[in-house]
Every structure is written in structure tokens, then in C-alpha cells.
């Protein structure tokens, strides 16, 4: 392929992309293929000779598309969104073309400096403290691992980095509702799963600060060393909001690193009325939210903020001869701010999104999603088949079968799972689930870039009618 052919194929691709995004609602939201179906329809060996872009795109249509779950469909309500947007895609096109590897300032100053500027924009947009330093990580899993590692080094006075674990008395704390990535990070960092203390939650599934303080006190009495508390502004199951102001005070009192995981909910801080959720954030040591979830920016793009930049860099810094440059003493070299050496130019898509939508445009979309989630919640409350989980927070609506459906929890769970599977198999919409005290709970998260009130209402109408059809009248 030469540049002339590339230009032609890229224009064809743009038409394919635009057609796809126009027609996205004609696809079943959740892929309907069976395990192994795609593998069995692909050749077992790479082609020796070049194949035409026409053939490749024909296979995309025939083989790949049936295996796609359409995360960008307005009727995708599962998990949390991993949404994109038109300006974000344009940003990704530019990123791929420049093909910059921004491991250090010198290898593309614009990648480093734009990242610094945009992270500062985000602090301002989201009401985050001015003394935080921002850096883009790939995912919140990585960001939380980075926080835990930095906390580990600060408490050990950088001795674990130097000589390894000399005690297994460190303890990490999160609630029973914290994301699975916390346990994964604790294992990776070498603390061991047993070092992770899961603090009980209250009836609203928020971490109990009293229980946290009890645990910290007890552990210290037992000669253990509290290292890090991870609280959630928006748990993954139900978007419960841990009381980070109180937790922050406790962390200060016991000299423990406080990391706040707001992966999904963080974007909602663009609306001042939601900032009560991060009241006290200035006491936290680190904070993460994912523009790639709810801020219309392609995955992966996770915004990580840390107060003690020196501790972060001291945890990760390396400086081999082949990476030394003339600018090292006066610039940020982000290779020392995380796990990986290599870095994509990820701030570009974020810059495109913020400028093209304006802060106002982002704020309006987020406000709409939250508003519609509230409206949907009211409808669920009025439907006798269902019970709304409350408090309902932001764009995430959790609901269960009414207790009168099915004689016991096991029976209800089976009915609920069958109902969800059949709704998802219809292809009309895709939602996911969690469990609350053993009870199967539907999760319906409104956050797609181009979702409208009508999509939400039509989806609800379908869910309600399927419930009427398949569940007994109550």
C-alpha cells in the first residue's frame, strides 16, 4: 500500500466508520455469537501474500462484526460506559498517524507538555486541589496499583524498593464493595491478599469510618503497620459514595496514604452540585478518575492525581544511559510516573474532546444522564415487579425483583438472571448485574455519549413488558 492507496482506503474507512456510527442501533447491542465461533471461521495461518483492503474489510463485516458487543450503542447500559465521541475518534486518528512514543520529554515535547496542561485543566474543571499533580495512566487498575506502590515506598522509606520486604506487617484497607483491582494490586505489590483488610459497609454500601478506625487501631495495637486506605467515590456495584472527608481525617490521624478511586463517578464532578461527594479531597494523597469511562474519550485514558510527586517519582524512577537527555533536569519525564516505559500520546484525544464539546457541552450531557437515571428510578418504583436499590446515584440505576416474585432468594435470582439473559439476547439493549446481600441486582447505567431520553424510556418499556410477560403478576 502506498500513500495514494492509503489516502483512498482511509477515506473509505471514514465512510465505513460514519455509516457504522449512523447505523449502530441496527446491530444487536450484545454480541450473539457462541464461544469458538469466530476462531473457527478464521484461518489458522497468516497469509504469505498481501491481501487487499477490500478483502480485509469484507472479513471485518462477515467475521468480526457479529462478535462485537457495541459499547458505543446508545442502548449499551452494562458495566460502566467506555464511551467515545466524534472528536475523540478524530483525536485517535491523529495519535495513530503521528505515532509518537512519549516515554520522555525529548521523544516528543508536545506529548509531555500537552498532558501537563490538560491534567491542570481537569483539576480546574472537576474542583480538584491545585496542589495535585496529574498524569495519564492507562486504567484505574494501574492507577490504583501505582498509588499502593507509592504508599508502600513512602511508609517503608523506600526500603522495599531497595532491599525488598523486611516485614509482612503492612496492611491495606478498603471496603467490602471496593473494585476487584484493589485486591489485584495488593497481590501484585507483594503484600498478599491477607494484608487487605475489608472494612464493613453500612446499609447504603458505603465504608463505615467507625469500622475503619477500629480496624486501624486494632491493627496498630497488634503491631501491624497500616499503609494505605482506598476509598471509593462510586463503588462498582452500586455507585455508593464512601465518606472520604471522614476517612481522610482518619488517614491523617494514623499517617496512612489515602487513595480515592472515582473511576466512574469522577466525571460527575464537572457539575458543582455533585462535589459534596469529594468534600475533603484536599486531604487525600491520590485520586483517579477515568475520562475513558464517562467523559467521551476513548479507552484507555485514566486521569491520576497525586499530591506527593517526589514520592511517586522516587518509586518508579530509572535512568539508564540510553534514556539520558539534555533536558532531564527541567522537564517531566513521565516514564518515571508509572509502570510502563513507553507511552501513547493520549492527551491529544482528551484535548480534542474538551475543546470540541466545551466544558459546557460535557456538563450538559452528564446532567442529562443523571436526570434520566432519576426519571427511570421513579418508573421502577412504580412497577410492582421491581424494587429500586436506594440511594440511586448518578447515572447508575440498580434494581431487583420484588420480594413477592419467587418464594426465596435463590428462586428470585434465577428468575432475574433468566430475565436479564433474555433481554440481553434480544439485542435491543445490554445491561449487566451485581449482587447485593446475595440478591441478583440489575445494573442499568446511562452514560453513552449519544444516548437520549427516548432510548432510556424505550429500553425501560421493553424491560417492563418482558417482566410482565415472564414474571407472575403481583
Three-state SS for 203?
coil
Report if residue 313 touches a second copy, rule: CB under 8 A: no
CB of 335 to a second copy, least distance (A): 9
Q: What is the torsional sign of CA 163, 168, 170, 171?
A: positive
Mask of contacts with a second copy, 386-425, x by CB under 8 A? -----------------------------------x----
Contact assessment for residue 459 and residue 77, using Cβ atoms and an 8 Å cutoff = yes
Using CB under 8 A as the binding criterion, the count of chain residues that bind a second copy stands at: 157
- Using the minimum distance from each CB to a second copy, give the nearer residue, 250 or 301: 301
Report if residue 223 touches a second copy, rule: CB under 8 A: no
CB of 363 to a second copy, least distance (A): 9
The correct pick among 130, 203, 322, 473 for binding a second copy (CB under 8 A) is: 322
Report if residue 106 touches a second copy, rule: CB under 8 A: yes
Rule CB under 8 A: which of 264-293 touch a second copy? Answer: 292
Cell triple for 412: 428470585
Cell triple for 193: 491478599
- Using the minimum distance from each CB to a second copy, give the nearer residue, 250 or 265: 265
Q: What is the DSSP string of 263-292?
A: TTGGGGGGSGGGGGGGTTGGG-SEEEE-HH
CB of 17 to a second copy, least distance (A): 4
Longest dimension (CA), the chain: 75
Mask of contacts with a second copy, 49-88, x by CB under 8 A? xxx-x-xx---x--xxxxxxxxxx-----xx--xxxxxxx
Burial 111-133 (b: 16+ CB within 10 A, else e): bbebbbebbebbbebbebeeebb
Contact assessment for residue 99 and residue 108, using Cβ atoms and an 8 Å cutoff = no
The correct pick among 130, 273, 326, 407 for binding a second copy (CB under 8 A) is: 326
Report if residue 214 touches a second copy, rule: CB under 8 A: no
Strands (E), 58-109: none
- Using the minimum distance from each CB to a second copy, give the nearer residue, 10 or 384: 10
Contact assessment for residue 102 and residue 275, using Cβ atoms and an 8 Å cutoff = no
Report if residue 97 touches a second copy, rule: CB under 8 A: yes
Q: What is the DSSP letter of 471?
A: S
Q: What is the torsional sign of CA 140, 141, 146, 152?
A: positive
Q: End-to-end alpha-carbon separation of the chain, Å?
A: 64
Report if residue 38 touches a second copy, rule: CB under 8 A: yes
434 bridge partner residues: 441
Cell triple for 474: 403481583
- Using the minimum distance from each CB to a second copy, give the nearer residue, 245 or 356: 356
CB of 179 to a second copy, least distance (A): 8
Report if residue 232 touches a second copy, rule: CB under 8 A: no
Report if residue 20 touches a second copy, rule: CB under 8 A: yes
Rule CB under 8 A: which of 425-464 touch a second copy? Answer: 432-435, 443
- Using the minimum distance from each CB to a second copy, give the nearer residue, 195 or 471: 195
Query: What is the layout of strands, in order, in the sheet containing 396-401?
Result: 386-388, 396-401, 439-445, 432-436
400 bridge partner residues: 387
Rule CB under 8 A: which of 339-368 touch a second copy? Answer: 339-342, 344, 348, 351-352, 354-361
Mask of contacts with a second copy, 133-152, x by CB under 8 A? -----xx-xx--x---x--x
Report if residue 318 touches a second copy, rule: CB under 8 A: yes
Q: What is the DSSP letter of 224?
A: -
Contact assessment for residue 440 and residue 400, using Cβ atoms and an 8 Å cutoff = yes
The correct pick among 25, 26, 61, 109 for binding a second copy (CB under 8 A) is: 109
303 bridge partner residues: 136, 289
CB of 122 to a second copy, least distance (A): 8
Report if residue 164 touches a second copy, rule: CB under 8 A: yes
Amino acid at each position: 500500500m502506498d500513500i495514494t492507496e492509503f489516502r483512498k482506503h482511509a477515506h473509505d474507512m471514514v465512510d465505513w466508520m460514519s455509516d457504522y456510527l449512523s447505523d449502530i442501533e441496527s446491530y444487536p447491542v450484545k454480541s450473539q455469537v457462541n464461544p469458538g465461533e469466530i476462531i473457527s471461521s478464521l484461518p489458522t495461518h497468516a497469509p504469505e501474500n498481501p491481501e487487499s483492503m477490500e478483502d480485509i474489510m469484507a472479513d471485518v463485516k462477515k467475521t468480526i462484526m457479529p462478535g462485537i458487543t457495541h459499547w458505543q450503542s446508545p442502548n449499551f447500559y452494562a458495566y460502566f460506559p467506555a464511551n467515545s465521541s466524534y472528536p475523540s475518534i478524530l483525536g485517535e486518528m491523529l495519535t495513530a498517524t503521528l505515532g509518537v512514543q512519549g516515554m520522555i520529554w525529548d521523544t516528543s515535547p508536545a506529548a509531555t507538555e500537552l498532558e501537563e496542561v490538560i491534567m491542570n485543566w481537569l483539576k480546574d474543571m472537576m474542583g480538584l486541589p491545585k496542589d495535585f499533580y496529574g498524569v495519564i495512566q492507562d486504567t484505574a487498575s494501574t492507577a490504583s496499583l501505582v498509588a499502593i506502590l507509592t504508599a508502600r515506598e513512602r511508609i517503608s522509606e523506600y526500603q522495599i524498593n531497595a532491599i525488598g520486604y523486611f516485614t509482612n506487617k503492612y496492611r491495606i484497607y478498603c471496603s467490602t464493595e471496593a473494585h476487584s483491582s484493589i485486591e489485584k494490586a495488593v497481590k501484585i505489590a507483594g503484600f498478599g491478599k491477607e494484608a487487605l483488610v475489608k472494612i464493613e459497609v453500612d446499609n447504603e454500601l458505603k465504608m463505615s469510618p467507625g469500622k475503619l478506625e477500629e480496624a486501624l487501631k486494632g491493627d496498630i495495637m497488634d503491631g501491624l503497620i497500616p499503609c494505605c486506605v482506598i476509598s471509593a467515590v462510586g463503588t462498582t456495584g452500586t455507585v455508593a459514595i464512601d465518606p472520604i472527608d471522614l476517612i481522610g481525617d482518619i488517614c491523617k490521624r494514623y499517617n496512612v496514604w489515602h487513595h480515592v478511586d472515582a473511576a466512574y463517578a469522577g466525571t460527575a464532578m464537572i457539575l458543582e452540585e455533585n462535589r459534596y461527594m469529594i468534600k475533603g479531597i484536599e486531604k487525600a494523597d491520590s485520586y483517579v478518575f477515568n475520562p475513558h469511562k464517562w467523559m467521551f474519550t476513548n479507552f484507555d485514558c485514566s486521569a491520576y492525581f497525586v499530591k506527593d510527586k517526589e514520592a511517586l517519582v522516587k518509586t518508579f524512577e530509572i535512568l539508564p544511559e540510553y534514556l539520558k537527555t539534555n533536558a532531564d533536569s527541567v522537564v517531566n519525564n513521565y516514564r518515571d510516573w508509572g509502570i510502563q516505559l513507553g507511552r501513547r500520546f493520549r492527551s491529544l484525544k482528551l484535548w480534542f474532546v474538551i475543546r470540541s464539546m466545551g466544558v459546557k457541552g460535557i456538563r450538559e450531557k452528564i446532567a442529562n444522564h443523571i436526570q434520566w437515571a432519576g426519571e427511570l428510578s421513579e418508573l421502577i418504583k412504580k412497577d410492582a415487579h421491581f424494587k429500586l436499590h436506594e440511594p440511586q446515584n448518578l447515572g447508575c440505576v440498580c434494581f431487583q425483583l420484588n420480594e413477592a416474585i419467587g418464594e426465596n432468594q435463590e428462586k428470585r435470582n434465577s428468575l432475574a438472571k433468566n430475565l436479564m439473559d433474555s433481554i440481553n439476547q434480544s439485542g435491543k439493549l445490554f445491561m449487566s448485574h451485581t449482587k447485593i446481600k446475595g440478591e441478583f441486582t440489575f445494573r442499568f447505567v446511562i452514560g453513552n455519549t449519544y444516548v437520549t431520553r427516548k432510548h432510556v424510556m424505550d429500553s425501560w418499556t421493553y424491560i417492563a413488558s418482558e417482566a410482565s410477560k415472564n414474571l407472575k403478576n403481583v
